[in-house]
Amino acid sequence: MSRTMPILTHRHLVLLSAILFSAAGCNTEMRWASDQQRPEGPTTDMAQPAGVDVPDIQVADAKEVDIVEGVLTHRARYRKLLEILRDYYAEHGYATKQKWAEAELADLRRVKPFKYILSAEIPASRLRPKYSIAEADALYEQGLELMRKGGHGVPALFNRQKMREALEVFTELIRKYPDSDKIDDAAFCNGEILKEYFKNCDTLAVKWYERCHQWDPNSPHPALFQAAVVYDYRLKDRAKALELYHRVLDEEQDNKSNTAFASRRIYELTEGVAQIHEPRQPLNTDTFAAPAARPSGAALTGAGSADMTTNAPADEALGTADENTNATEMVPVVNLGPDTDE
């Protein structure tokens, strides 16, 4: 059965326009009413406030993660300082200025702060692995299983989404159970994932390895060695690499292959005969074992699987960063790209 479209006469169109205009007028009146509730007061220029010398921002050679981290840090400080200013005015009886600060905070709450980088956030260096926590152990096992399902050890065939999920699980473990004796293990796993399976994440990988070593200097994972190799061959920061290779000889002596490689690289970097190309090593698909509960510092091993520490002294090596901060805020650290496999 055919349907006939209703015919809109001129009268209908006029009535429809009046309804739409009326609705728009209501919304405008609501916005104006909100504006009218704002306290009166002098305003200033956000970009160049009068009487304030705004320092230049150094962006030479800055990467996206550095710029985004600056945005997030200063955005958080802006809000915190406004809250401090509001409280100051409230305590000292400056009612008008208190209303100004409250209005600015209200405006700030309406701003939509975009998450420019999908972040595996790195907590402060002051955490310490203390206790065996069943829930944390379960999350760690879940992360390892996701890595195995994601094809860990076979970069050409890996599943990006599974690796992303593993990264999120390890990070959740650290966030929910910061006293767990698995936090250094989870940090090491995050470093492996970021370095092996996501592009342009070497700086972030060494940050996770920094946390692994900071949280547990006796961790079974070769965090210092891994950092040194990344700085050496990926980031081309040979001075930092040399520093870390020396620390490997002092602090990670258990892995003879790693110490031998570190000794050779110290000679090469010092004598100016450094290799140009990064040595390639096949990844061990059994690198990540599923360990039983262990005291802090024990090796990550599992039934029928290899020690999680890296014997190959090169490409699978990841690292630790050089900053040793006790900052309590979480910092953005990684651009993981689209949710698709490569």
Domain co-membership, 289 together with 336: yes
φ, ψ dihedrals at 327, nearest 5°? -60, 140
Residue 308 has pLDDT above 50, yes or no: no
Residue 57 has pLDDT above 60, yes or no: yes
C-alpha to C-alpha distances, 289 to 189, 283, 286, nearest whole angstrom: 11, 14, 6
CA pair distance 160, 47, nearest whole angstrom: 41
Identify whether the C-beta of residue 310 lies closer than 8 Å to the C-beta of residue 286. Answer: no
Domain co-membership, 186 together with 233: yes
CA pair distance 43, 100, nearest whole angstrom: 10
- 58 or 260, which is more confident: 260
pLDDT (mean) for 293-314: 35
Asked if the structure places residue 31 within a domain, the reply is: no
Residue 317 has pLDDT above 50, yes or no: no
**Residues shown for the chain:** 342
The string of pLDDT tens digits covering residues 59-106 is 777 767 678 777 878 888 898 999 999 999 999 999 999 999 999 888
> Which of 93, 110, 127 marks a domain boundary?
110
Q: Burial level of 223, CB count in 10 A (0-12/13-18/19+)?
A: buried
180 pairs with which residues across the strands? 131
Number of domains forming the structure of the chain:
2
Domain co-membership, 318 together with 283: yes
The string of pLDDT tens digits covering residues 225-262 is 999 999 999 999 999 999 999 999 999 999 999 999 99
Domain co-membership, 142 together with 219: yes
According to the model, what pLDDT value does residue 324 have? 39
Our measurement of the distance from residue 20's CA atom to the centroid of its chain's CA atoms, rounded to an integer in Å, reads 46
Identify whether the C-beta of residue 224 lies closer than 8 Å to the C-beta of residue 262. Answer: no
Our measurement of the distance from residue 305's CA atom to the centroid of its chain's CA atoms, rounded to an integer in Å, reads 30
Q: Which domain holds residue 316?
A: 117-342
Domain co-membership, 240 together with 139: yes
Asked if the structure places residue 98 within a domain, the reply is: yes
* DSSP class per residue in 185-244: HHHHHHHHHHHHHSTT-HHHHHHHHHHHHHH-TT-SS-HHHHHHHIIIIIS--HHHHHHH
Question: pTM score > 0.85 for this model?
Answer: no
> Which region among 6-20, 43-57, 256-270, 303-317 has the lowest average model confidence (pLDDT)?
303-317
Asked if the structure places residue 47 within a domain, the reply is: no
Q: Closest Cα to residue 216, out of 288, 136, 296, 292?
A: 296
pLDDT (mean) for 140-146: 97
According to the model, what pLDDT value does residue 63 have? 67
According to the model, what pLDDT value does residue 124 have? 85
> Which region among 130-134, 195-199, 288-292 has the lowest average model confidence (pLDDT)?
288-292
Domain co-membership, 105 together with 136: no
Domain co-membership, 262 together with 313: yes
Residue 165: give its domain's CATH number.
1.25.40.10
According to the model, what pLDDT value does residue 223 have? 93
Hunting for tokens 């593993």 — which residue is that?
Answer: 166
pLDDT above 90 as % of the chain: 42
